[in-house]
Amino acid sequence: MSQPLTAIPGTEIALADFDTSYTDGSHDKKSAKRQLKENALALADLGYRLYAENKRCLLLVLQGMDAAGKDGVIRHVMRGLNPQSCQVHSFKRPSEEELDHDFLWRIHKAVPRRGNIGIFNRSQYEDVLVVRVHNLVPKQVWQRRYQLINEFEQLLTDGDMVIVKCFLHISNDKQRERLQARLDDPNKRWKFRHGDLDERELWDDYQRAYEAALNRCNTEHAPWHIIPSDRKWYRNLTVSNLLLKTMQEMDPQYPAEEEGLEGVTVV
């Protein structure tokens, strides 16, 4: 049975209805790796054209539970893109300066310029996820933020930005497996914190917070895409295909050349 990728705005989203280990059967791990390389070449060309055109930009938002694969997507999907026009921003605990501004201040500062591709590893949604689960602000404060986020994303898309929001959907069992793998591998143990276990205890609270964000911030101008993420190869390929389709639809064009270049010889 097929599973939707893009959540239709206005329809109720229940994460339990989405299989985290789903694949559509079009690829296996080996063929997905080949396709990912082909996509990378096409994305590099489209990214170069977007940079040359310098009229629009693209923002990839990655959200998901710990170990869902945000870093892995960035590493595998975005390879080959020109680092001059592709920037990654990670949003962790706000600094003192950031806390002295509205919650969207640090986000707005990091959005990509025209011609660029921006990648958010976590995003504005932390302020209706972590903040909600840990009761960092009163309920009436974080409840208003859903609408503020929708208006913020509308502002960005009105400014010729295309937003691709991906929720990397991982199962509880797969998260446990990946966190344990970090502990067991000395080269990955640096990624593990004791706090990860505390956060894992709040799994159900986070699932409810994510469902609320997915439902209340799923708009026509910035819809959510729910990416099955238990299988890394399928997760990476799905995000890659989604980005490729988006950029192909954007169809960026090289700007017109300066007149009078015919017959010019460089000496």
Task: Show the 3-state SS of the chain.
Answer: CCCCCECCCCCCCCHHHCCCCCCCCCCCHHHHHHHHHHHHHHHHHHHHHHHHHCCCEEEEEEEECCCCCHHHHHHHHCCCCCCCCEEEEECCCCCHHHHCCCCCHHHHHHCCCCCCEEEEECCHHHHHCHHHHCCCCCHHHHHHHHHHHHHHHHHHHHCCEEEEEEEEECCHHHHHHHHHHHHHCCCCHHHCCHHHHHHHCCHHHHHHHHHHHHHHCCCCCCCEEEEECCCHHHHHHHHHHHHHHHHHHHCCCCCCCCCCCCCCCCC
Note the pLDDT of residue 1: 63
pLDDT tens across 3-16, in order? 889 989 999 999 99
Instruction: Say which CATH number the domain at 241 has.
Output: 3.40.50.300
Report yes or no on 20 lying in a domain. yes
Per the domain annotation, does 258 fall within a domain? no
- Give me the number of domains the chain comprises: 1
Give the domain extent around 39.
Answer: 15-250
Within-domain flag for 260: no
The string of pLDDT tens digits covering residues 70-121 is: 999 999 999 989 999 999 999 999 999 999 999 999 999 999 999 999 999 9
Is 118 within the bounds of a domain?
Answer: yes
**For 34-74, how does the pLDDT look when each residue is reduced to its tens digit (9 = 90+)?**
999 999 999 999 999 999 999 999 999 999 999 999 999 99
* Global pTM value: 0.96
Task: Kindly tell me if the per-residue pLDDT of 2 is higher than 90.
Answer: no
| Stretch 126-151: mean pLDDT | 97
> With pLDDT > 70 as the criterion, what percentage of the chain qualifies?
100
Whether the pLDDT of residue 226 is over 80: the answer is yes
The yes-or-no verdict on residue 176 having pLDDT over 70 is yes
Q: Is residue 152 part of a domain?
A: yes
